[in-house]
Amino acid sequence: MPLTRDEAIARADLIDVESMRVELDLTTDSATFESLTEIVFHASSATPTFVDLKAVDVHEVELDDEVLDPALAADGRLPITPREGRNTLVVRATMPFSNDGQGLHRSVDPADQAEYVYGHLFLDAAPKVFACFDQPDLKAPYDVSVRVPEEWVVTGNGDPVHEGDGQWRLATTKPLSTYFVTVCAGPYVSRTDAWTGPEGQRVPLVIHGRASLEAELDAQAPQMFEITRQCMSYFHELFGIDYPFGEYHQVFVPEFNAGAMENPGCVTFRDQYLFRGAISRASLLSRSNTIAHEMAHMWFGDLVTPVWWDDLWLNESFAEYMAHRALVDATEFTEAWVDFGIARKPWGYAAERSPSTHPVAGAPAPDGDTALQNFDGISYAKGASALRQLIAWMGDEAFVAGVRDHLTRHSYGNATLADFLGSMAAASGRDVDAWAAAWLETAGLDRLSVELTTTDDAEGMPVVETATLVREQPQGVEGEAPNRPHALTVTGWTDGDRAWSVDVEVEGDRTELPELVGRPVPRLVVPNAADTTWATAVLDEDSLRTLPTQLPQVTDPGTRAMLWAAVVDAVAEARMDPRQQVALFAEAFPVETDASILTLSSMYTLRTIGRMVPVTDRRSREAAVEQAARARLDSAEEGSSTAWLAARTIAQVAIEAEAIRPWARGAELPAGLEEDDDFRWLAVRRLAELGALDGELELMAEHDGSLSGRLAALQARAAQPDTESKDWAWGELAGRESGRSNYERNSLAQGFWASGGAELLAPYVERYLQEIPALSGVLGEDALARVAQLAFPLQVPTAATAEAVDAVLAGDTVSPAVRRSMVDQRSVLGEILRSQQVYGA
């Protein structure tokens, strides 16, 4: 059962953990491992409580000198009654390896059959590895030792030492929350470097990857070390506190659920970040951003940790903001805020449109499962945007002073939002609580638009007569609007020339812009042009109509990114015909230069075609995208990042199978993609979607036996538009006994819905509603949420589908993770149905 906040408060009042000693033996078998835990803790009274423990079998429990019955452990809890004062609890148990990315995950690399293990204990998986008081405010230092096969390497939160015969010991850590503890073990290959600070501080840096990815690690480690050193220097200077956790290890692990996890001293990353084949600048920026994000957590999140999960957003918002700031200020990726605008903000805007939207802060989190459901684009992108607005409002110098005070005051401990705001108020002398109430404690998006009236000047040219920035606010929980202030820029563009630009501070629903009176009437009027605030930018009808010709001529990439985000919103809200988005792409993509905009505008447009464009028009719109991508490929420098992005778009959308069949077979590949197996897999999957495979799947599967190749093969096989393929794929995806990992099920889900008409796919609506929720217990909630999202039947967008989903959501038969995914995807289904109603089905 999940730990409730009330239980956590009571246990924190009772218990203070002095130390944790954990011994793990990973050599017993492939399904389980042995775990011994010694917890030294102090109790304020002899009051019954419990230890969290999710074991396969509990062998011994001893509290001080008393032997307890192991059978007392049930439902993930071991009841104990400590004596007042100092206690020692020893638990020996057999624990389960997982294959869903939670707990101690075990994976076999199909490239060489090597086994890899890593610990991912967020949010409540620590009891699957060792006995503990599993809540973030009961921190303790850890002593961890691990026995592994002789050829394996071990690392974790403490500096690793190999003692011989497969026995490894990790140095005693600083106080850590349970969810930050990790152990990574296997025949990893490693590369080393070091960071040296301005006062002679030295931090060893180590990067690890699977043995089958050694060539990729060798080629890419120098760039990653450079970003790591640059960010460490930046954060060291900005925060005024030395990096606090010994060596700094970064481990690229297989089948990881998230992008990365900020385990102190031992960050784990999904190993897709060790890129195969050609690497675009957008990919490098994305990985560099993740490196910076996890490093920012070393101070904000790890050094100072939330008391409870309701403040987890602050960790992520802060790291999200700091990562982009560090890239812009300290690395070559000065365009990072452009990437934020087109990659991150639309994710958060989509979460705000969903019925599951919630405030950035203060969302109820009565237990861990509930908190996990609010861990989304609002926590990351909206929170980071709110921090940008806070800085604009209070000044950067005061913000940095407040951050330093917060980190210093609560080092190695826990803190709340109130603590953070207290430091901000002390540093700035402003009413930060009022700002927080408006920005952090209410859900929903403000809508910003510009109203112009026009007249003719003395020469008969149209000029602005009046200009007003209009703010439409969402209603608060009790019907009161949050009254969020905004600092933003309004800009007018005509044929690539900036007609005018004005900075605006918005504190009311209508803000007059007298500076624009008498100025030329532009073809394109852009609210929030610098993309500094969090709001839906509502373009006027004339601006929407002229976007296909005007957006490609806008010279500011930040404004172009913001306009693409506005287009995604407009299509989702049925304010823009989805075919108009395709028309915009057809004009903009051939001349776009920013790598992030190229990547994301392609992804969003392909998604719109697959979801929103009427079925009868899809082939013609795919043809328009293919033509635009070929134009960009022809104009790009051969072998450039831009050329690769264009070719990848073609491989995903080609209308004629013969146009990409040579690529799938490894022939006639664009320059720089000759060794790019992932590119070839794109072509194979497209052939599968077209029902045009002719041995390419088998050929490619034999050529690429890697973990990525195996997943791509599953996706391509599931993408074939025939009854036999769909029936097989669904059985593997949704079967409780299929044994498929979380990654395999995700790949199957992505392929399954990529092809097939309504007649073929309609029967799987009911199967989704019955069989995916039944995977609860087979997969952890974090992994199951992703499966439930990807497997949702958006490709059967009918009223009957909506009604069937609503009927399930009206009951109480699904777990919180599945419910949240279904609610969010039901919202997207509603957007599709509204677009169909307005623009045609």
Residue 744 DSSP code: H
> How far, in Å, CA of 304 to CA of 297, rounded?
9
Annotated catalytic residue 335: no
Which runs of consecutive H residues, i.e. helices, occur in 268-344?
281-299, 312-330, 336-339
Which runs of consecutive H residues, i.e. helices, occur in 255-412?
281-299, 312-330, 336-339, 345-353, 368-373, 377, 383-394, 396-409
SS3 state at 413: strand
In contact, 87 and 63? CB cutoff 8 Å: yes
Q: Which of 80, 86, 41, 84 lies closest to 62 in space, CA to CA?
A: 80
Q: Which of 821, 789, 788, 780 lies closest to 121 in space, CA to CA?
A: 780
Neighbours of 18 (CB within 10 A): 13
Written as six digits, the tokens of 834 are: 């509204």
What residue type is 73 in one-letter code? A
Cα 543–Cα 544–Cα 547 angle in degrees, nearest 5:
80
Instruction: Output Rg (C-alpha) for the chain, integer angstroms.
Output: 27
Q: Which of 298, 158, 156 lies closest to 231 in space, CA to CA?
A: 298
Name residues whose C-beta falls within 8 Å of residue 432's C-beta, 6 or more positions apart in sequence. 390, 394, 421, 424, 425
Q: Which of 463, 493, 603 lies closest to 556 in space, CA to CA?
A: 493
Q: Which residues of 759-778 are buried (b: 16+ CB within 10 A; e: fewer)?
A: ebbbebbeebbebbbebbeb
Q: Looking at 136-290, which runs of residues are DSSP E strands?
A: 142-147, 153-156, 160-164, 167-170, 183-186, 189-196, 202-209, 248-253, 260-261, 266-270
165 — alpha (psi -120 to 50), left (phi > 0) or beta? left
In sign, the C-alpha dihedral spanning 761, 762, 764, 768 is positive
Dihedral, CA atoms, 114, 714, 376, 327, nearest 10 degrees? Answer: 60
Compute CA distances 671 → 281, 594, 657, whole Å: 16, 20, 21
Q: Which of 789, 726, 791, 737 lies closest to 765 in space, CA to CA?
A: 791
Residues facing 269 on adjacent strands: 252, 260
SS3 state at 314: helix
Residues facing 536 on adjacent strands: 447
Q: Which residues of 104-119 are buried (b: 16+ CB within 10 A; e: fewer)?
A: bbbbebbbeebbbbbb
Q: How deeply is 223 buried, as exposed, middle or buried, from its count of CB atoms within 10 A (0-12, 13-18, 19+)?
A: middle
Q: What is the DSSP string of 223-241?
A: HHHHHHHHHHHHHHHHH-S
Locus of tokens 């405010």: 137
In contact, 111 and 131? CB cutoff 8 Å: no
What residue type is 453 in one-letter code? T
Choice among 294, 592, 696, 831 that is catalytic: 294
Residues that are catalytic? 294
